[in-house]
Amino acid sequence: MLGPQDVGYRVVVRRIVGVRGNRPQFTDALGELLAWDDSGLTVATAAGPLRIAHDVIHAAKRVPERQLNIALLERLASQAWPAPDVEALGEWTLRAADGFTGRANSALPLGDPGLPLDAAVDAVCVWYRSRGLPPRVNVPLPLRADLDALLDERGWARSVPTLVQTAPVAAVLDATVDRPDLPPVRLADEPDDDWLRVVARRKGSLPDAARYVLTAARLLKCASVEGDRAVARGAIVRDLLHIALVEVAEEVRGRGLAQQVTRALARWGREHGARTAFLQVESTNVPALRLYARLGFGTHHEYVTRTAP
């Protein structure tokens, strides 16, 4: 059976709705558990919130989060981190942002490019070089192992793998607590100059296109705490919360500020309908991986960034 610890999770509740021929009749309610108390529970079903009394519940349990396939998650990630210069190559997406971040300046090779694979790679090279950028492709694995092998043959450089990790928003909130001993987290609709300076220290110079990448998502928040000594960015696409740019100044690391800004974004995300959080983290970033594991994140897939010689 369910309890207050299950609030925020996706659940299924089988309840008795009548009796026919001395046999109980059941129906199932599926959705997010909104509330639980001594008299019953409330489930956010597709038809709206449904209140169910405990005495009509036959069985109830959590259900696994709906699985996202790699292609869908990569497309949604691209929407959460949008480039200002975008062009389609068949079903592929070519993205440029004056060199600000690899994700916003690389081809996303999902689906059919409308050309033989070799010719599609050639077209990618022409497009990026015409913009003064090195040709790059973010290759999701194992989905595009064929393209990865072709780029090996053509001598393209290979980055360390980046892990795309997901977690139920409810699990992130369960794994963290409000810390009254820490300064409060401020959530802003757009970054201020101090917030941008923190990003610049991590990402290098910020070209004009950087502001577009950071602010063009439809629903976003810039989190900061203690004079921007800890920051993060959250963006919602569909029912997913993208978490990025989690950065804590070296002199205040180890105090739990990264968890605080992540918790604040998770709470905001849940308030706006996000059920799953996701992020990208390099496979060699051991401290970040340990933090995200404590918050309930697991690896969904990985990608490598390939750069033309």
Q: In the structure, what pLDDT confidence band is assigned to residue 22 with cuts at 50, 70 and 90?
A: confident
What is the crossing angle of helices 286-294 and 257-271, to 10°?
Answer: 50
Q: Which part of the chain has CATH 2.30.30.100?
A: 4-62
pLDDT of residue 253: 81
pLDDT digits (tens, 9 = 90+) for 42-51: 998 877 789 9
pLDDT of residue 165: 96
Distance CA(47)–CA(81), nearest Å, equals 32
Q: What are phi and psi of 177, to 5 degrees?
A: -135, 155
pLDDT of residue 202: 78
Cβ-based neighbours of 9, under 8 Å, separated by 6 or more:
32, 33, 62, 168, 170
pLDDT of residue 34: 81
pLDDT of residue 249: 78
140 is written with which tokens? 């999701």
pLDDT of residue 115: 95
Q: What is the mean pLDDT of the chain?
A: 92
48-53 and 57-62 beta bridge pairing: unpaired
Is the pLDDT score of 67 beyond 70?
Answer: no
pLDDT of residue 199: 84
Q: How many CB atoms lie within 10 A of CB 287?
A: 9
Tell me which DSSP letter residue 107 carries: B
pLDDT of residue 9: 80
What does CATH list as the number for 4-62?
2.30.30.100
pLDDT of residue 7: 81
pLDDT of residue 65: 64
For residues 202 and 40, which has the higher predicted lDDT (pLDDT)? 40
pLDDT of residue 286: 93
pLDDT of residue 133: 97
What does CATH list as the number for 164-304?
3.40.630.30
pLDDT of residue 47: 79
Cβ-based neighbours of 213, under 8 Å, separated by 6 or more:
81, 82, 83, 84, 97, 100, 101, 104
Distance CA(251)–CA(253), nearest Å, equals 6
Q: Which part of the chain has CATH 3.40.630.30?
A: 164-304
Q: In the structure, what pLDDT confidence band is assigned to residue 163 with cuts at 50, 70 and 90?
A: very high
For the segment 279-293, the average pLDDT, to the nearest whole number, is 94
Is the pLDDT score of 90 beyond 80?
Answer: yes
Q: How many CB atoms lie within 10 A of CB 155?
A: 8
For the segment 227-253, the average pLDDT, to the nearest whole number, is 89
Cβ atoms of 139 and 148 within 8 Å: the answer is: yes
Of 34, 27, 31, nearest to 65 (Cα)? 31
